[in-house]
């Protein structure tokens, strides 16, 4: 089971965010790479979680009307 991902960590520069271990920046146990993986807040700013794809709340519900271009051929 994965850990909950913090939205606004206190000191994001002290942790590698590359996996669920959240190792210290100078002690990366997973071997994820040569450099520390930055937190999204460091890359995109403090409102990083409010923009982008939003799979939780769709803009509008899908209509149940069939598309006439995809009608079944008559036999």
Q: What is the mean pLDDT of the chain?
A: 74
Given the structure tokens 């959240």, which residue do they identify?
Answer: 22
List, for residues 22-56, the tens digit of each pLDDT value: 888 888 777 666 788 889 899 988 888 877 665 44
Considering only residues 38 and 69, tell me which one the structure prediction assigns the higher pLDDT.
Answer: 38
The answer to whether residues 52 and 73 touch, using CB atoms and an 8 Å cutoff, is no
- The CA–CA distances, whole Å, from 72 to 6, 68, 75 equal 49, 9, 9
The answer to whether residues 16 and 22 touch, using CB atoms and an 8 Å cutoff, is yes
Q: How far apart are the first and last CA of the chain?
A: 52
In this prediction, what percent of the chain has a pLDDT beyond 90?
A: 1
Cα dihedral across residues 8, 13, 17, 21: positive or negative: negative
């Amino acid at each position: 089971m994965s850990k909950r991902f913090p939205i606004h960590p206190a000191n994001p520069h002290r942790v590698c965010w590359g996996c669920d271990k959240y190792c210290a920046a100078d002690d990366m146990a997973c071997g994820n790479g040569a450099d520390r993986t930055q937190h999204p807040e460091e890359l995109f700013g403090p409102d990083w979680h409010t923009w982008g794809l939003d799979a939780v709340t769709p803009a509008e519900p899908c209509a149940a009307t069939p598309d006439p271009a995809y009608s079944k051929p008559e036999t």
